[in-house]
Structure 1
Amino acid sequence: MDNKKLIAFRSLIIAAGATVAASFVGVYGVMIGATAAEMGWLQSSSNSLSNLGQILWGRISDRVGKRKPFLVSGSVILAVLWFLLPYSRTPVNLIVLYSLISIFSAMITVNWYSFIADNIISERGRFLTLINDIASAGTIVSLIAMVFILAKYPDDVVIPFSTAAASYVISAVTVFKFKESKSKSVMTRNLYKTLKNLKNNNAFYKYFRATNIQSFFWSMAWPMFPITIVSIMHFSLEIVAVLTISSTLTMLLTQYIIGKFIDKVNRVPIIFLNRIMLSGIPLMYAFFNILPLFILLEIYSGFIGSIQNTVTTSYTLDIVPQNNKAEYISILNGFNGMVYFFGALTGGYLLTLFLSIEPLKIALLLSYLIVFAGRFLSSFLFRGLIEENSGGRNNSVLSILFKPKGAGSPSGAVIHPR
């Protein structure tokens, strides 16, 4: 079996296993009694380490010059960690284990896109679209299966987490069969110099600044989403799977059409409108009180999430310098990771503060209103972005590395396993 088929197969397996399991982690944290502050630590540490780790692992693997050893060893380690996750039993143990999963997922991510960059040369953009569609289909089919399985075994997180572990065992075997070409460096050798020259790229710097400011308010809501799902709405894991299907399926069905439309227009107004629309999700979580409305929320989230993925990835890859794409995207992800850490942590402690004076429902309402205000006002920073005419919307392999966080996942914003 050639590399293309092996890559597609691995993408399908990970999407059906680890990607699906990640959507239950935040909910599981609430189920085992995590406080608002502990949920802040869970979301902040996992997402920040996932992003920051890409810079570290990218430089290490560049020096080694091979991707397969990292992909195989990382898969084995992740299989063990996912297997242990349902037995964590306490919020602190869950935070530690999921942070480790985030670190090694970052190792997989940066070496995964680098391997594809090194070994898939012809029709790379079309191939990336294909494997992304395969992965999305695998996620949806697996989630549908989870609905029926979890209906029979309610609240049994061992099922999705063990499936994730199995997917990484299969991944390790699959990656071992890859035929690896000589690795090409994807990082520049002088990170400090790149940071120093960041302001010289006006288009990127404006986007970099706007993204990091809004990311703070963006991540504040992540600890609140699963608390609302479990403690206010009392949704089971089966319902969480249904909600995730709603958003994922909507995204899959609309992303291609949106991508074709966006290729013909100025992206800056769409980015601004998209950010305004995304700011409404905390309000929906605050005021929706029945399952059909939450399904509608997830459909809305999937639709605007597909706009976000298509526009933001395309725009970002077009405004970074041609010879420094990996470096700039890693810097963007790294800084976002630091902002995510403080944002999610602030959101958790903000909710804790309100809980000391108000009941849970009112405390969540007040917290969501603050998040909405911050998201909405910071959206106006995106009005000043500069549209770059790069001669075509960029379908670089680096789109695998750069993925905006989920808009309104019922489990909170989680890492996207690769």
Structure 2
Amino acid sequence: MLDEKSIRRSRLAMYLNQLIGSFGSGLASPFLPYYAAALKFNSMEMGELQASSNLFPNIMQYLWGIISDRMGRRLIFIILGGFVSSFMFILYIFSHSPELLIAVVIVQSIFGAMVVPAWNALVGDLTSLSKRASFIGNLSFYSNLSMLFAGVFFIIYAYIYGQAISVYYIPFYLAGILGVLSSLIMLYAVEDKRKFVPVRKVNFIKTLRNDRDFSYFLFSQAVYNFSMAISWPLFYITTVDVLKASFFQVGLINLIGILFTVLFIPVFGRMIDRYGPRNFMIITRFLFVPVPLVYGISNSIIWIYLLNALTGFTTAITNVAFLAYLLDVAPREDRGKYIGVYNAILGLVTFFGSLIGGALAQFLEIYYPLVLSLLIVYMISFTGRLSGAILFLRIKEKRKYPEHMRFRLNPFR
């Protein structure tokens, strides 16, 4: 076990990593789909790009998580994965064809996948049960605060220079440099080094069969995220091609969402420590249900601004509640594996969801106008999200929390 000084040192490194790295990623990651839309990717190509960014990071997280657990190491995965994946932001600048940009995203995703399970497991190693959600909330707060400043920088820059697609180049370059720097900062952190355990054969099905609560949670998330992913690649087509958003407006959409996330993350971090994540997860599932419908019927960019305020608020809950629940359900020695299984399943379903959504919209455009084609797919996504949200009502809390909510979101009991 780490002493208190080492824990404080590691937490400081994690906070600095989030502040610097998130400013960098905030200049690039939110704008990749808009960059692709500005390059005139069609619905199918947007679906392929979104699907690739869903599949590879999540599938590889499963493998990296197992290796991290067996080696008993976290930092090497965080540093190496963050370094390489951040550098790939710079290559966006030179990737103007669908094939090349997707290839860059795949390589970035594979290395970026090294970070997530190791990072989440490190969070578990450095926190007690009673303060875990607060620490997750604090990390997420600083991350989103930094992304908020990145968003402000982008919209000012886009307002001044946003007359051509080259407006994305400087932000992509800065994202690469800052991401590399944030990865190197983790050299200052200290980890609880455990004895090396050789990698054992992992029975994927057995892991799910042995933990029924985790399996049901995973099933519910898979249904919900598949339905979400159907509409993801189309949001950017609606924004850029239907509503004709400028580079400045694209930046403002992102900024509004981050602002509301930053405002509410600290509140929900403390609340989840008191009441547990279960009810908060359910709230997020229902709040995300109408999102595709709003995109489908919007006739003004104002509606997208308002919608992103709602999704920013909902994301504040999501960022804390789901990781807190995962860390509650996963045994300490298998946290990387559980998180890896979770992300692998979600990677698969969102991969196929985005591919199907993009392909279906492209097919419908043969027979219908663009707006109607998008609306049909959005309605399918809306229906699936609602079904997935209902499944969440049966999820159980995994441990006792200090206080109980006065209401309980479960009509089945």
**TM-score, normalisation: structure 1:** 0.84
Q: Report how far residue 239 of structure 1 moved.
A: 1.5
Contact 2:44 2:359 in 1 (8 A): yes
* Of 143, 159, 179, the match for 1:151: 159
Taking a change above 3 Å as real, the CA distance of residues 25 and 183 of structure 1, as seen in their structure-2 partners, is: farther
What SS does structure 2 have at the residue aligned with 1:289? coil
* 2:293 alignment counterpart: 283
Deviations 1:261-291, CA, capped at 9 Å, x for gaps: 4555586555444322211000111112222
Cα distance in 1, alignment partners of residues 287 and 183 from structure 2: 40
Q: Report how far residue 114 of structure 1 moved.
A: 4.4
Q: Which runs of 5+ in 2 are unaligned?
A: 1-7, 404-413
Matched, 1:130 2:141: no
Q: Report how far residue 124 of structure 1 moved.
A: 6.9
Cα distance in 1, alignment partners of residues 390 and 188 from structure 2: 49
Deviations 1:98-150, CA, capped at 9 Å, x for gaps: 11111111112233344555677899735444333222211111111111111
* 2:410 alignment counterpart: none
Moved more, 304-313 or 284-293: 304-313
Contact 1:17 1:165 in 2 (8 A): yes
Taking a change above 3 Å as real, the CA distance of residues 212 and 161 of structure 1, as seen in their structure-2 partners, is: same
Deviations 1:349-401, CA, capped at 9 Å, x for gaps: 110111111111111111111111121123222222223343459xxxxxxxx
* Of 378, 386, 391, the match for 1:376: 386
Cα distance in 1, alignment partners of residues 193 and 118 from structure 2: 13
Taking a change above 3 Å as real, the CA distance of residues 269 and 209 of structure 1, as seen in their structure-2 partners, is: same
Q: Report how far residue 203 of structure 1 moved.
A: 2.0
- Corresponding letter in the other structure for 1:331: V
- Corresponding letter in the other structure for 2:95: S
* 1:415 alignment counterpart: none
* Of 239, 245, 269, the match for 1:235: 245
Contact 1:49 1:102 in 2 (8 A): yes
Matched, 1:198 2:208: yes
Contact 2:138 2:265 in 1 (8 A): no
Matched, 1:30 2:40: no
Q: Which residues in structure 2 correspond to 1:310-325 (within 5 Å)?
A: 310-321=320-331, 323-325=333-335
Taking a change above 3 Å as real, the CA distance of residues 14 and 174 of structure 1, as seen in their structure-2 partners, is: same
* 2:87 alignment counterpart: 80
Contact 2:69 2:335 in 1 (8 A): no
Query: Identity of aligned pairs, percent?
Result: 28
* Of 247, 254, 266, the match for 2:257: 247
* 1:399 alignment counterpart: none
Matched, 1:335 2:341: no
Q: What is the aligned length?
A: 392
The root-mean-square deviation of aligned C-alpha atoms, in Å, is 2.9
Taking a change above 3 Å as real, the CA distance of residues 376 and 68 of structure 1, as seen in their structure-2 partners, is: closer
Cα distance in 1, alignment partners of residues 181 and 294 from structure 2: 39
Contact 2:231 2:292 in 1 (8 A): yes
- Corresponding letter in the other structure for 1:18: S
* 2:16 alignment counterpart: 9
Contact 2:17 2:183 in 1 (8 A): no
Cα distance in 1, alignment partners of residues 276 and 68 from structure 2: 37
Contact 1:187 1:324 in 2 (8 A): no
* 1:416 alignment counterpart: none
Q: Which runs of 5+ in 1 are unaligned?
A: 394-418
Taking a change above 3 Å as real, the CA distance of residues 254 and 120 of structure 1, as seen in their structure-2 partners, is: closer
Taking a change above 3 Å as real, the CA distance of residues 278 and 184 of structure 1, as seen in their structure-2 partners, is: farther
Contact 1:88 1:94 in 2 (8 A): yes
- Corresponding letter in the other structure for 1:250: F
Q: Report how far residue 332 of structure 1 moved.
A: 1.2
* 2:147 alignment counterpart: 139
Cα distance in 2, alignment partners of residues 138 and 388 from structure 1: 32
**TM-score, normalisation: structure 2:** 0.85
- Corresponding letter in the other structure for 1:141: F
Cα distance in 2, alignment partners of residues 330 and 305 from structure 1: 21
Contact 1:55 1:331 in 2 (8 A): yes
